[in-house]
Amino acid sequence: MRDFLSAVIGKTVRQLAKLRGGGGSALPGLVVEKIDPGFLARVLGRLPEGVIAVSGTNGKTTTTKMIVEMLEAQGRRVFTNKTGSNFSRGVVAAAVQECSLGGTLDADIAVLELDEAHAMFFIERVQPDRTLLLNVLRDQLDRFGEIDTTARLLQRIADATTGTLIVNREDPLIAAIGDRTRERAGSDGPEVREFGLSEPLRAMFPSDDDFHATQAAESVTDPEDRPEADVTLVSIGDHEAAFRIDGSEYTTSLQLEGLYNTFNAAAALATVRAALTVPNGAPGPEAERLIAALAEVRPAFGRGERLELDGQPLELVLVKNPAGFRLGLASFEAAGVATMIAINDQYADGRDMSWLWDVDFTSLAGEGVDTVSGTRAWDMALRLEHDEVPVGDVEEQLRAALTAFRERTPGRPRRIYCTYTAMLELRRALAELTDVEDIW
């Protein structure tokens, strides 16, 4: 009866929110959390293959999408928070939307993207069977204070994990969480698996220590002494990558955009392998089948997402921190492309935009930046001026900037680097002009 009442109330709130013109994505979750705090635990507890949690500073949305689609390709029915609402109330709202009136999900397994801080509310109610920890970067320091705070939050998620913990061995703070989990786990604790990079690729994927030295790096094992990771990204080409799994290398084409998304593919492969491991130790699906499924995954919204506008491609590239922005600039050729940069400083973006000064923008100097927009447009324009990057126009209002950008760049491919809330507003504006996917 509790499940029935909570499901009815949540679904009703969602419909009312939509009728009032809102998306209704998180409000039902907020209401159900208040009236029935145990709802999510009961609903997820009925899934036969448990819960996978995905957390870390960057890459959660794309990596979650990869895991979901690879699992679905292996015949699993997957519940996930598709809208990317990664606070606990967003997960509850997704469960309300997808469950029956009896509180049952038509799924075998859940794959949930969790915000680092709001995951604390989630793990108080639900212990994940498997957890993937991606990275710790200097993102939104106004929220967490320091990266050590973020690492402690991720450690708590690891401590709550009952089955398998998958960690990024190239990130010193994440690798340290894996080491501590191994030391404390004993025979009853979670198994720890790793994803990583071949030595030639390590310089292409800087951790936060490459920007700001930390004491945590001193405790990480020397790379030459490390055992082989469960999945290793070996090489990268043009929309192509090679992965080493169980001593064999597999090369595949990729529809994903950007270097970081390629590395996150290794994380997704390691997580799916852990999820599909048969309890009696029998081998899971062949690596070739997982690689083939990975090749079919398209970018998540705003993560190298490609639209078509006026007969020309338009790419949206989400930027959140110096490492991500640097890799974004390195991942996309500037020549022949009209560029716009949109920087907001709302809560979801992070209020402190000083990290822009840790990014080298000289690769944009040749073509220049046609338009700079967002609430911090003038800060961005000043930063570009210091790197001698020409700027065509500065317009704080995003819709006006997009209109002008479109008018000035007919017949040219376009690319927009944007922070999170700027991306959402631009996608809404672009949806009035071209086909834009509703989710992911």
Closest by CA position to 371, among listed 398, 410, 333, 347: 398
Task: Give the 3-state secondary structure of residue 88.
Answer: helix
Provide the residue ranges of all domains of the chain, joining segments of one domain with +.
2-294, 303-431
pLDDT for 129 equals: 96
Q: What is the C-alpha to C-alpha distance for residues 404 and 377, in angstroms, rounded to an integer?
A: 15
SS3 at position 318: strand
Contact 427, 328 (CB under 8 A): no
The domain 2-294: what is its CATH number?
3.40.1190.10
| pLDDT at residue 302, rounded to an integer | 59
Q: What one-letter code names the amino acid at 429?
A: A
pLDDT, residue 219, reads 43
- Mean pLDDT, 10 residues at a time, over the chain (440 residues)? 81 76 66 84 93 91 94 95 68 85 91 88 92 81 65 94 96 94 77 95 74 46 70 93 94 87 95 80 72 90 78 91 83 91 89 91 96 97 97 97 96 94 92 75
Q: What is the predicted pLDDT for the residue at 368?
A: 96
Residue type for 262, please? T
* DSSP secondary structure string for all residues of 91-106: HHHHHHHHS-TTS--S
The pLDDT value recorded for residue 226 is 66
Residue 210 CB coordination number (10 Å): 14
Domain 303-431 has CATH 3.55.50.30: no
Q: Which two tokens stand for residue 304?
A: 């190298």
